Amino acid sequence: MDTINNKELMNAIEIMKQEKTPQSQNRVIAEILKAKFMCPVILQDVPKGGGKINITKDTKIQFSIVKTTNDKNFLIAFTSDEEVNKWQKNKTQQSIIYTFEDYATIAQNNENLEGFIIDPKGCNLIFTKNMIMQIKNSITRENVVKKDTQVELSVPKDLSEDLQNKLHDVLVNNKEIKKAYLLNMLKEEEKSYLLIIDALGNEKEYFNTIASALIPFLGGMPLNLLPINTEFGTKAIEKFKPFYEVNE
């Protein structure tokens, strides 16, 4: 099994317990979106003896779950081997490494699951399906700006190097994207990033790919995505230089 390190996540959770502020909650969410968790499973028809196992689409997976007092089923997300051992003393417990997105997909596609729990014998942090959707919808969305809405745009300052590098890599790997503008947007007292995309074809085709890659690096700041070929998109870029541009 690959080594996982969730030290930053655990630190963020401890701070949130002491200071329940929007900032501390956003930091926890940002770390969860970057984290890798161990999901306890039972894999059928696989060789015994431990070690790495190649999982294919035909591998049958039975998930271990936690049932709450109100009879709701949750997947389990462990942050470390220590937390696994608190829950079950089985040293040969099979686990698959999953991300937040993996848990979200599994929970949303299974009507018998309510969500997932991080370290049930530790921090016991619960994420229901509704919370999962709120996180995804609040951080990443296609921007719609109504006419006559007051919007302030500016060049972002103090962007993290990780965010800049990740965005650049995603844009380079999507060859049809020719330009991208990354701006700060203040709309009705709400701050967010605005990413305007200029691509050959339908810009919206790239929104999910870009959003999925960037979410862990946004620090809880919402990300709005907008095609360049809209009235607002065309007007918004008049005073700004692109973050990324293909030189032809």
- In this structure, the strands spanning 151-154 and 177-187 are antiparallel
Are the C-beta atoms of 31 and 5 separated by less than 8 Å? Answer: no
Confidence at residue 1, expressed as pLDDT on a 0 to 100 scale:
47
Please check whether residue 91 is in contact with residue 1, taking contact to mean a CB–CB distance below 8 angstroms: no
Higher-pLDDT residue of 24, 168: 168
Per DSSP, the three-state class of 248 is: coil
Average pLDDT, the chain: 84
Query: What is the per-residue pLDDT across 221-236, written as a single tens digit (0 to 9) for each?
Result: 888 888 898 888 888 8
Q: What is the pLDDT at residue 74? A: 96
Q: Which range scores top for mean pLDDT: 142-146, 164-168, 204-208?
A: 164-168
Q: Which two tokens stand for residue 122?
A: 């530790």
Amino acid at 200: L
Among candidate residues 35, 230, 75, the one with its CA nearest the CA of residue 143: 230
pLDDT above 80 for 139: no
- Domain residue spans in the chain? 7-138, 143-245
| Residue 106 contacts residue 146 (beta carbons within 8 Å) | no
Class of the domain covering 143-245? alpha beta
pTM for the whole thing? Answer: 0.62
Comparing 20-24, 25-29, 172-176, the range with the smallest average pLDDT is 20-24
Instruction: Count CB atoms within 10 A of the CB of residue 30.
Output: 21
What region, left, alpha or beta, does residue 192 occupy, with left being phi > 0 and alpha being psi -120 to 50 degrees? beta
pLDDT of 89-127, one tens digit each? 555 568 889 999 899 999 989 999 999 999 999 999 999
Instruction: Between 30 and 137, name the one with better pLDDT.
Output: 30
pLDDT tens for each residue of 63-94 = 889 998 888 999 999 999 899 888 875 555 68
